[in-house]
């Protein structure tokens, strides 16, 4: 009698174990853990500025009329520009170049910024372009960039980035000068890719 009970109990235990194993095999795998989102906040920013200027042999108002519209950047930086939101030259206007937003302006200047982008640290990139009077018949174009370079790998990378931006925007100022003084730009050099600007 006891042997029979023991045999029956062992059989039941084996059946339960088999059923449990089958249930476990049919249960869906737990969902994979999503990677944590990349924060756009920079803990210890290091803001740098790049001030550039060039003399122009024209009055400031004439200079600004020729090269100071918000999408004139397409002509002097040599890639397409359209206004994608708002009105050209008005606060809040957005241009297709890096989705830049016009955030400040005076009669002879404007300031723009680039928006926060998902999954990338925000470098607070801003640029200001101004036609500044020097005499009644001459002026200078002043272009200043401000941004955070703390997310770059090291000092060498930060210096390369600064040099690249300086070269790019010095060329932009030279092109603006040519246009403002009534000249024509030479053919644009071929581009390897899109504009490597800002954030």
Instruction: List, for residues 77-129, the tens digit of each pLDDT value.
Output: 998 999 999 999 999 999 999 999 999 999 999 999 999 988 888 999 999 99
HSE (side-chain half, CA atoms, 13 Å) at 81: 21
CATH number for the domain harbouring residue 122: 3.30.530.20
pLDDT value at 132 more than 80: yes
Interval 52-78 mean pLDDT = 97
Say which residue, 15 or 188, is predicted with more confidence: 188
The per-residue pLDDT for 18 is: 45
The DSSP element (H or E) to which 16 belongs, if any, is helix 2-26
pLDDT value at 26 more than 70: no
Structural domain includes residue 68: yes
Residue 9: φ, ψ to 5°: -65, -40
DSSP state of 88: T
Query: What digits encode the pLDDT tens for the residues 135-177?
Result: 999 999 999 999 999 999 999 999 999 999 999 999 999 999 9
Q: How far apart are CA 174 and CA 3, in angstroms?
A: 101
Structural domain includes residue 122: yes
Q: Is the pTM of this model over 0.85?
A: no
Q: How far apart are CA 3 and CA 60, in angstroms?
A: 109
Owning domain of residue 106: 47-180
54, 174 Cβ separation under 8 angstroms: yes
pLDDT band at 38 (very low <50, low <70, confident <90, very high): low
As a dihedral over the C-alpha atoms of residue 58, residue 60, residue 63, residue 65, rounded to 10 degrees, the angle is -140
Number of structural domains in the chain: 1
Q: Which residues pair with 111 in a beta bridge?
A: 104, 128
Instruction: Indicate the range of 132-136, 177-181, 189-193 predicted with least confidence.
Output: 189-193
Structural domain includes residue 31: no
List C-alpha distances in Å: 137 to 60, 65, 152, 175.
8, 14, 43, 19
pLDDT value at 188 more than 90: no
């Amino acid at each position: 009698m006891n042997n029979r009970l023991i045999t029956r109990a062992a059989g039941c235990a084996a059946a339960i174990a088999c059923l449990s194993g089958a249930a476990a095999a049919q249960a869906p795998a737990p969902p994979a853990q999503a990677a944590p989102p990349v924060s756009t906040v920079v803990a210890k920013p290091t803001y740098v500025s790049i001030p550039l200027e060039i003399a122009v042999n024209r009055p400031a108002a004439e200079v600004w009329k020729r090269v100071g519209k918000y999408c004139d950047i397409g002509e002097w930086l040599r890639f397409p520009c359209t206004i994608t939101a708002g009105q050209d030259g008005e606060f809040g206007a957005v241009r297709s170049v890096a989705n830049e937003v016009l955030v400040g302006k005076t009669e002879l200047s404007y300031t723009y910024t680039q928006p926060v982008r998902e999954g990338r640290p925000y470098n607070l990139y801003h640029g200001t372009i101004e036609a500044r009077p020097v005499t009644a018949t001459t002026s200078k174009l002043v272009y200043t960039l401000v941004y955070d370079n703390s997310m770059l790998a090291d000092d060498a990378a930060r210096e390369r980035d600064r040099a690249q931006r300086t070269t790019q925007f010095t060329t932009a100022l030279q092109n603006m000068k040519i246009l403002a003084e009534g000249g024509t730009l030479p053919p644009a050099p071929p581009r390897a890719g899109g504009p490597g600007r800002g954030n």
